[in-house]
A and B are shown apart, each in its own frame.
Chain A
Amino acid sequence: QLQLQESGPGLVKPSETLSLTCTVSGGSISSSSYYWGWIRQPPGRGLEWIGNIYYSGSTYYNPSLKSRVTISVDTSKNQFSLKLSSVTAAETAVYYCARQGGSPSFFDSWGQGTLVTVSS
């Protein structure tokens, strides 16, 4: 059974960099069939796609966040990571990592999500 688990600081100061890691268990992040993504959800609001990565390291980002986002993969640890720089309070959200299947097409497996609060 595939499981994804987000980890990282729950509190980040404004203007600093948010860093999260997603650990994948029960499956290999190096599978050629999947991409791996980050999605966020501010409290009481909708979902926003942040970006995806393929095991080879190819990355794809939301154009509105592209200048501040870096997603990386560590196949030896079966993990992928998110860095978002210069965060503001408006980026307080639950951050989800997810597997994207279908070459890609759909997000079929999600982590439980982690709340990151941006506040001084």
Chain B
Amino acid sequence: QSALTQPASVSGSPGQSITISCTGTSSDVGSYNLVSWYQQHPGKAPKLMIYEGNKRPSGVSNRFSGSKSGNTASLTISGLQAEDEADYYCCSYAGSSTWVFGGGTKLTVL
């Protein structure tokens, strides 16, 4: 069970859109529609932003969206705002009742 692969960092200007990728294998991301995304500000606990690929919990802005193609899931944030600057983590079901996280991506809003 290896960690999912995310880019170490991405950046964008306010108002722009960015996409963070999360690459797994046919044993995790590719086999199940159970990818979730978490936002983590420094010193804080992670916050659920997207679940089951493209669903948003109540209270999460519709600027956040998720998708998947093959073994890669993606998180897109549109209309970037300063408050979006944070670390983002993907998580996928990996079979046999186990879960695996990505290495995390630091989003910088320029």
Chain A interface residues toward B at CB < 8 A:
37, 39, 45-49, 52, 60-64, 96, 102, 105-108, 110-113
CA distance A47 to B38 in the complex (A): 10
B-side interface size class: 20 to 34
Closest to A4 in B: B45
Q: Smallest distance from the beta carbon of B32 to chain A beta carbons, Å?
A: 9
A47-B89, A108-B48, A113-B45 given. 20 additional CB < 8 A pairs?
A46-B103, A47-B38, A47-B101, A49-B99, A49-B100, A49-B101, A60-B97, A62-B98, A96-B45, A102-B51, A105-B34, A105-B36, A106-B36, A106-B91, A107-B38, A107-B91, A108-B51, A110-B47, A111-B45, A112-B45
Query: Of B1, B47, B89, B101, which is within 8 A of A64 by CB?
Result: B1
CA distance A110 to B57 in the complex (A): 14
CB neighbours of A52 from chain B (8 A): 97, 99
Given A52-B97, A63-B1, A63-B98, answer yes or no on A47-B46 (Cβ-Cβ < 8 Å): yes
Closest to B97 in A: A60
How many residue pairs, one in A and one in B, have C-beta atoms under 8 Å apart? 60
CA distance A45 to B103 in the complex (A): 8
Q: Smallest distance from the beta carbon of A74 to chain B beta carbons, Å?
A: 22
CB neighbours of A48 from chain B (8 A): 3, 101
A105 touches B51 (CB 8 A): yes
CA distance A48 to B99 in the complex (A): 9
Query: Of B1, B51, B102, B103, which is within 8 A of A106 by CB?
Result: B51
With most chain A CB atoms within 10 A of its CB, the pick from B45, B98, B103 is B45
